[in-house]
Amino acid sequence: MTTNIVDVDDLTGDQLHEVLDLAAELKAAQRAGDGRKPLTDRTLAMIFEKPSTRTRVSFETGMTQLGGHAIFLGPDDIHLGHGEPIKDTARAVSRYADFIMARVFDHDDIVELAEYATVPVINGLTDDAHPCQTLADLLTIRERFGGFDTDVAWVGDGNNVCQSFVIGAAMTDIDLTVATPEGYGIAGDVRDRAAELGNAPEETTDPDAAIEGADIVYTDVWVSMGQEDRREQKLQDFDGFQLTTDRVGDRPVMHCLPAHRGEEITDDLLESDNAIVWDQAENRLHAQNGLLAWLAE
C-alpha cells in the first residue's frame, strides 16, 4: 500500500519519530561531507500551482543531495484539473516518477491526487495543511530543546501552517496554545483530530496570555497567498497581534516565512538573535530529505 503524506497524521507517532531521526542522521552526514545517496536514480515530480522559494529549492536540492532528480512542473507546464482530470494526471505521472510533491490551493485536489497516484504523494502545501513545514518545525524544536517537552504559543491566524502544527504538536506531546482573533481559530475537525491524538491545544483570543507561559512563540503571515482581496479587513482584525521584541522577551521566535515585516512581526525581532527562523528554513531541506528517504525504504 502506497503511503501518502497529505497531512502529518498520515504518519503514526512512531513513524513521525522515525522520519525525524532519519532527517537528523542525513543532516549530520551531509554536514560531515558523508552524504548518503538513498534515492539514486529516483525521480520526484514537483507540481506547483502556488509559487514558493523554500519548497522548490529545498525539494530540488534534497533530491540532488540524495542522489535523485526533481522535475519542476509549474502552472504553465501542467494544467492540474484543467484540460485533464486530476486522476488522469496522477495515474500518468505515477508511471514516470517515484514520488509526487504538489503545492496547490484546494486541499481536495491533493486528496484526489493521492487517491489515484500509485506512488507516494507529498503535500507541499494546500490552503488547509502544510505538513512539510511542521516536520521542519518539529526538527527545529527537537534540536533546540533536546526533545519536545516545551510550551509553544501560536499567535496569529489559525491557517494551514497552524493547523498542521496543531496536529504535529499533539503527536509529540508539545503543549500548545493558539491565540487568534475571534473567527480566525483552527477548524473544528483539526481540533477533534488533535484531541483524538490526546493533546488538543488551548485556544484564546489573548496573545499575551498565550505568550506568558511559552518557551517558544510562533507566528505566520496574516494575509496568505490568495487572500489579497481580504487584506485591509484582516489587518484590521489582527490589530494587537503583532510580535514585538518587548512582547516576546527572550523567547525563541519561529516563523515559516516569507514574513510580512511590520505586520505580524517587527523587523527588529526577525533580525534579532531570538529568531530561529533560518534554522527552520534550513530544516525544510533536512526534514523533507528524511521523509523522502523514509518513503523509499
How far is Cα 36 from Cα 273, in angstroms, rounded to an integer?
Answer: 32
Tell me, what's the pLDDT at 194? 98
Annotated binding residue at 12?
no
Task: Clarify whether residues 118 and 227 are in a common domain.
Answer: no
- Tell me which of 56, 103, 142, 255 is the catalytic residue: 103
Annotated binding residue at 79?
no
Total of domains in the chain: 2
Task: Clarify whether residues 17 and 61 are in a common domain.
Answer: yes
Active-site residue, 239 included: no
What are the grid coordinates assigned to 131, written together? 505538513
Active-site residue, 130 included: yes
Tell me, what's the pLDDT at 84? 87
Q: Would you say residue 65 lies in a domain?
A: yes
Cα–chain-centroid distance for residue 281? 10
Tell me, what's the pLDDT at 230? 84
How far is Cα 208 from Cα 186, in angstroms, rounded to an integer?
Answer: 19
How far is Cα 279 from Cα 219, in angstroms, rounded to an integer?
Answer: 15
- Tell me which of 65, 109, 128, 130 is the catalytic residue: 130
- Tell me which of 142, 191, 255, 256 is the catalytic residue: 256
Annotated binding residue at 52?
yes
Query: What confidence tens digit (pLDDT) does each residue in 202-230 have?
Result: 999 999 999 999 999 999 999 877 777 88
Task: Clarify whether residues 52 and 102 are in a common domain.
Answer: yes
Which residue range is the domain that position 47 belongs to? 8-130
Query: What confidence tens digit (pLDDT) does each residue in 78-128 have?
Result: 877 677 899 999 999 999 999 999 999 999 999 999 999 999 999 999 999
Active-site residue, 103 included: yes
How far is Cα 205 from Cα 126, in angstroms, rounded to an integer?
Answer: 25
In this prediction, residues 57-70 reach a mean pLDDT of: 98
Q: What is the CATH number of the domain that holds 211?
A: 3.40.50.1370
Tell me, what's the pLDDT at 81? 65
Task: Clarify whether residues 166 and 262 are in a common domain.
Answer: yes
Task: Clarify whether residues 145 and 93 are in a common domain.
Answer: no
Active-site residue, 192 included: no
